[in-house]
């Protein structure tokens, strides 16, 4: 099957919308076209152009690369048309259409239909019976339709589409083989690059982990040091308080000792009586001596 321009346009319109066709025309035969340049060329706002490009991207009909603008700081996207995906979409749409035709053929072959003479409506037997075989639009009596011609037409469309799909599948297989030949060296290069990036990311993760662990250890040491300082201060305060308490307790003990010593120094009552009696005897002797003189 030949991919005609009309078939390509219809396929792109079906998968991404008819409004994307001007962008596709501008991208044909070019690579890495700036989205701002595309917006200027088709005279559309940048947001509308981006919406069209995103629809084409979701359909795998375009690819992009991005570069950071050093002056402005934002990313600019550069787009390239991918025509090899058109055959894939044609095959997919053909399969969908083929399935719809087969369902329609089964419906035409399995049911009876009644039509209005004026062509207002076409109803199945059950619905026509609900309306008493009268047209709901104009009220005329509906007649039985011979749909054999419709069945033949649908069957022919199915046969043609199956042949077209077979050719498209063969063409698609050829395109895929060509793409694989072109992609094989790029794939190896991408795999090597991916492995390098993965290795670098693992190294960065290991270095980051080491730095985080070192920071955690340093913080733990600082915290332990602070705790020890606080603990030592608390112990010192406790010892000072204990010493002060001990001193305050010793003072009343000294007073009590003095009191007890004073009490110990005081003579008992018996001793005091003997002393007074001796004094009295001495006084009496002195008086008697004076009297004799």
Q: Where are the domains of the chain?
A: 5-82, 87-195
Q: What is the rounded distance in angstroms from the CA atom of residue 214 to the CA atom of residue 208?
A: 10
Nearest one of 70, 63, 65, 82 to 11, comparing CA atoms = 82
Query: Is the domain 5-82 a CATH 1.10.10.10 member?
Result: yes
Q: What is the pLDDT along the chain (293 residues), one digit of tens a residue?
A: 566 788 888 889 989 999 999 999 999 888 999 999 999 999 999 999 999 999 999 999 999 999 988 888 888 899 999 988 888 888 888 888 889 999 999 999 999 999 999 989 999 999 999 999 999 999 999 999 998 999 999 999 888 888 877 776 666 566 556 655 655 565 566 677 778 788 888 888 888 888 888 888 888 888 888 877 777 777 777 777 777 777 765 555 544 444 444 445 455 556 666 777 777 777 777 777 777 65
- Exposed e or buried b per residue across 109-137, where buried means at least 16 C-beta atoms within 10 angstroms of its C-beta: eeeebbbbeeeebebeeeebeeeeeebee
Kind of pairing, strands 33-34 and 75-81? antiparallel
Residues 78, 40 contacting (CB under 8 angstroms) = no
Alpha helices per DSSP H over the chain: 5-16, 21-27, 35-42, 46-58, 85-110, 125-130, 148-265, 269-292
Q: Residue 147: helix, strand or coil by DSSP?
A: coil
Q: What is the rounded distance in angstroms from the CA atom of residue 98 to the CA atom of residue 88?
A: 15
């Amino acid at each position: 099957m030949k991919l005609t321009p009309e078939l390509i346009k219809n396929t792109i319109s079906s998968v991404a919308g008819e409004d994307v066709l001007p962008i596709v025309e501008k991208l044909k035969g070019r690579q890495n076209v700036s989205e701002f340049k595309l917006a200027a060329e088709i005279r559309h706002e940048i947001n509308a152009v981006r919406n069209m490009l995103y629809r084409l991207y979701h359909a795998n009909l375009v690819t992009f690369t991005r570069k950071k603008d050093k002056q402005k700081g934002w990313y600019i996207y550069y787009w390239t048309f991918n025509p090899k995906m058109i055959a894939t979409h044609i095959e997919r749409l053909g399969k969908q259409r083929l399935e719809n035709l087969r369902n329609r053929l089964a419906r035409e072959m399995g049911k009876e239909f009644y039509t209005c003479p004026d062509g207002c409506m076409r109803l199945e037997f059950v619905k026509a019976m609900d309306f008493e075989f009268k047209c709901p639009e104009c009220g005329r009596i509906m007649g039985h339709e011979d749909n054999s011609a419709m069945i033949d037409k649908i069957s022919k469309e199915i046969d043609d589409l199956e042949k077209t799909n077979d050719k498209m599948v063969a063409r698609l297989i050829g395109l895929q083989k060509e793409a694989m030949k072109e992609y094989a060296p790029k794939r190896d290069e991408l795999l090597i690059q991916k492995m390098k990036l993965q290795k670098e990311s693992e190294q960065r993760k290991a270095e980051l982990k080491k730095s985080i662990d070192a920071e955690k250890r340093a913080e733990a040491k600082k915290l332990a040091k602070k705790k020890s300082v606080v603990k030592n201060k608390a112990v010192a305060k406790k010892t000072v308080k204990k010493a002060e308490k001990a001193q305050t307790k010793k003072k009343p003990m000294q007073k009590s000792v003095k009191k007890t010593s004073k009490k110990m120094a005081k003579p008992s009552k018996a001793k005091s009586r003997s002393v007074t009696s001796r004094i009295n005897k001495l006084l009496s002797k002195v008086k008697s001596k004076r009297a004799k003189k």
